[in-house]
């Protein structure tokens, strides 16, 4: 927020949403303290995203930061709704920790898996006979392919975020309709990090 103001190109709107009313109020307060023109939406992302997108100028530049609690709450309908915007970049937090801890359980469930909302149709694309490591890689690649089917391109440069003890927490991935955003992202994440898995 401060950088956009200092650079002479402040955000015209900052729209935030959360299911938890207290967390939403805290985020709103932090942003208002920075001088952000904040508008809040209380509710689940799958409910509020349509309202948010319908309120936007279709010709403006848009940036979305998606920070879900786990894989299940990153419902693919959110991505599809945002991808309808002509100019959209999305920075997406994908919980590697959730996939590592619970991936085998999600994949083995015959009905109502947490992956159903994250990657619709995943059962036709994930080889359940493979080992956990391969399955996790397939889940991530399948999700990226699904993103690209919406006309938004996911960067091949993914940032793995680790904790204080080097434990894998989540991936940050940029998905954008414009190549320039992907070039900026490539430069920003070029840290020479090792394997994502």
pLDDT tens, position by position, 60-101: 999 999 999 899 999 999 999 999 999 999 999 999 999 999
Residue 127 CA to its chain's centroid (Å): 24
Which residue has better confidence, 3 or 62? 62
Query: Based on the domain organization, do 111 and 20 belong to the same domain?
Result: no
Query: Based on the domain organization, do 173 and 110 belong to the same domain?
Result: yes
Query: Based on the domain organization, do 14 and 105 belong to the same domain?
Result: no
Instruction: Compute the distance between CA of residue 141 and CA of residue 127 in angstroms, rounded to an integer.
Output: 12
Query: Based on the domain organization, do 100 and 25 belong to the same domain?
Result: no
Band of residue 123 on the pLDDT scale cut at 50, 70, 90: very high
Instruction: Give percent above pLDDT 90 in the chain.
Output: 73
Band of residue 27 on the pLDDT scale cut at 50, 70, 90: very high
Q: Kindly state whether residue 173 falls inside one of the protein's structural domains.
A: yes
pLDDT at 4 over 80: no
**What is residue 195's predicted lDDT score, i.e. its pLDDT?**
52
Q: Kindly state whether residue 85 falls inside one of the protein's structural domains.
A: yes
Query: Based on the domain organization, do 37 and 68 belong to the same domain?
Result: no
Q: Kindly state whether residue 196 falls inside one of the protein's structural domains.
A: no
Number of domains in the chain: 2
**What is residue 192's predicted lDDT score, i.e. its pLDDT?**
57
Question: Which residues, in sequence order, are bridge partners of residue 17?
Answer: 41
Sign of CA dihedral 51, 153, 163, 97: positive
Q: Kindly state whether residue 194 falls inside one of the protein's structural domains.
A: no
Mean per-residue pLDDT for 104-122?
92
Q: Kindly state whether residue 195 falls inside one of the protein's structural domains.
A: no
**What is residue 10's predicted lDDT score, i.e. its pLDDT?**
78
**What is residue 32's predicted lDDT score, i.e. its pLDDT?**
95
Q: What is the CA radius of gyration of the chain?
A: 17
- Residues 6+ away with beta carbon under 8 Å from 153: 147, 175, 176, 177, 179, 182
**What is residue 7's predicted lDDT score, i.e. its pLDDT?**
75
Instruction: Compute the distance between CA of residue 107 and CA of residue 99 in angstroms, rounded to an integer.
Output: 10
Instruction: Give percent above pLDDT 70 in the chain.
Output: 94
Query: Based on the domain organization, do 126 and 169 belong to the same domain?
Result: yes
Query: Based on the domain organization, do 73 and 167 belong to the same domain?
Result: yes
pLDDT at 191 over 70: no
Residue range of the domain that includes 176 = 62-189
Q: Kindly state whether residue 35 falls inside one of the protein's structural domains.
A: yes
pLDDT at 194 over 60: no
């Amino acid at each position: 927020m401060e950088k956009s103001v200092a650079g002479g190109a402040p955000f015209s709107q900052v729209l935030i949403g959360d299911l938890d009313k207290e967390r939403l109020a805290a985020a709103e307060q932090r942003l208002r303290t920075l001088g952000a023109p904040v508008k809040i939406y209380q509710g689940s992302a799958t409910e509020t995203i349509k309202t948010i997108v319908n309120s936007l100028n279709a010709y403006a530049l848009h940036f979305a930061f998606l920070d879900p609690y786990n894989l299940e709450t990153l419902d693919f309908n959110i991505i599809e709704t945002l991808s309808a915007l002509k100019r959209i970049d999305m920075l997406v937090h994908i919980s590697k920790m959730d996939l590592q801890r619970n991936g085998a359980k999600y994949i083995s469930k015959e009905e109502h898996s947490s992956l159903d909302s994250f990657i619709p149709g995943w059962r036709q694309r994930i080889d359940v006979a493979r080992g956990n490591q391969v399955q996790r890689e397939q889940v991530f690649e399948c999700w990226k392919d699904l993103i690209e089917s919406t006309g938004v391109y996911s960067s091949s440069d993914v940032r793995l975020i680790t904790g204080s003890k080097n434990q894998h927490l989540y991936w940050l991935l940029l998905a954008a309709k414009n190549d320039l955003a992907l070039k900026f992202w490539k430069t920003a994440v070029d840290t020479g990090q090792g394997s994502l898995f």
